[in-house]
């Protein structure tokens, strides 16, 4: 019984997660041959139908999770769910405040999502609108890239000693190979090209204050230890091609338009709090 209930719970979750618009797995279930059942109904429980689309939806979710869907087993679970639902209704459990609120929330979420999906399907945007969005997003992109090398030490004193060696004329690559506890030290401490946001904030912050060719004059502390940094070069990263991000721009424009529409609906609604 525990196994059955766990499967029933999984089925419930899948049903609520799915939209009736999901594609039907080809050949998964044949329409029932029982002439007493209405079109699109696979079974009834005390006269209440189990729609074919419900089985399809659960099967689709299972297959999308990489599992094998068993149509007959799904139908049996849905029948069990319906039997339990009707038993709960006889006890008026659906009228208990907590359960009633849960059912109302599920209904509200389903209808709200269906409305937004319907609304978004009717939206379209011109290339001019999308290019304007592209330019706006591009202006906010942090494009600065750095090419740097570093020498990582365990203590600030060790790092300060290495800085003194560099100021005395020792090459950065030689100092990195000799002193760095980071594996990159074998390659002169080379970190290659990177965006500052991918590095520790203290490390990135130090780079922002340096000019190309500079070596940090004081140790830079991060969670990894103490760094001596050499800024080798910097550049602006290339922006992605408009066509390569067009689908993302459409999604972004759609989300913004939907958000604005929700605000319009909210402004027109009578809300009491």
- Percent of the chain whose pLDDT exceeds 90: 82
- Mean pLDDT along residues 259-263: 97
Alpha-carbon distance of 240 to 134, in angstroms, equals: 10
For residue 148, what are its two tokens? Answer: 């740097």
> Residue 7: is its pLDDT beyond 60?
no
At 140 the pLDDT is 85
Residue 249's SS3 state is: helix
CA 221 – CA 5 distance, rounded (Å): 54
What pLDDT does residue 141 have? 83
Q: Is the pLDDT of residue 246 over 60?
A: yes
CATH code, 144-236: 3.10.50.40
pLDDT tens track for 146-195: 999 999 999 999 999 999 999 999 999 999 999 999 999 999 999 999 99
Q: How far apart are CA 154 and CA 170, in angstroms?
A: 20
Summarize the confidence of residues 247-262 as an average pLDDT.
96
**What is the pLDDT averaged over residues 6-33?**
42
* Model confidence band, residue 3 (pLDDT cutoffs 50, 70, 90): very low
- Given a cut of 90, whether residue 34 has pLDDT beyond it is no
Q: List, in order, residues 6 or more apart from 216 with CB less than 8 Å away.
A: 163, 206, 210, 227, 228, 229, 230
Question: What pTM, to 2 d.p., does this model score?
Answer: 0.59
Q: At what angle do helices 71-90 and 2-17 cross, to 10 degrees?
A: 90
pLDDT at 143: 85
pLDDT at 116: 97
Percent of the chain whose pLDDT exceeds 70:
87
How confident is the model over 115-129, as pLDDT tens digits?
999 999 999 999 999
Domain positions in the chain: 2-107, 127-138+240-268, 144-236
What is the DSSP track for 65-130? TT----HHHHHHHHHHHHHHHHHHHHTTGGGSHHHHHHHHHHHHHHHHHHHHHHHHHT----HHHH
* CA gap 167, 28 in Å, rounded: 74
pLDDT for residue 35: 53
Instruction: Give the Cα separation of 214 and 229 in Å (integer).
Output: 8
pLDDT at 57: 94
- Indicate the average pLDDT of the chain: 89
């Amino acid at each position: 019984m525990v196994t059955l209930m766990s499967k029933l719970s999984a089925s419930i979750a899948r049903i609520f997660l799915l939209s009736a618009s999901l594609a039907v797995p080809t050949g998964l279930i044949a329409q029932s041959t029982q002439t007493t059942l209405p079109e699109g109904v696979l079974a009834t429980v005390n006269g209440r139908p189990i729609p074919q689309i419900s089985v399809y939806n659960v099967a689709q979710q299972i297959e999308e999770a990489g599992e094998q869907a068993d149509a007959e087993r799904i139908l049996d679970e849905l029948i069990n769910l319906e039997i339990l639902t009707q038993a709960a209704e006889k006890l008026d459990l659906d009228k208990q405040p907590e359960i009633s609120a849960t059912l109302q929330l599920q209904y509200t979420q389903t209808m709200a999502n269906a409305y937004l999906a319907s609304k978004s399907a009717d939206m379209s945007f011109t290339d001019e609108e999308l290019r304007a969005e592209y330019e706006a997003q591009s202006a906010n992109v942090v494009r600065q890239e750095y090419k740097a090398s570093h020498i990582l030490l365990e203590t600030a004193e060790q790092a300060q000693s290495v800085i003194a060696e560099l100021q005395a004329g020792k090459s950065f690559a030689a100092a990195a190979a000799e002193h760095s506890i980071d594996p990159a030290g074998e390659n002169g401490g080379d970190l290659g090209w990177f965006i500052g946001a991918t590095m520790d904030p203290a490390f990135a912050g130090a780079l922002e204050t340096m000019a190309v060719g500079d070596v940090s004059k004081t140790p830079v502390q991060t969670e990894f230890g103490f760094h001596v940094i050499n800024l080798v070069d910097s550049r602006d990263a290339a922006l992605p091609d408009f066509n390569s991000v067009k689908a993302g721009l459409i999604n972004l424009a759609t989300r913004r338009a939907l958000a604005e529409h929700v605000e319009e609906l909210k402004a027109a609604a009578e809300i009491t709090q």
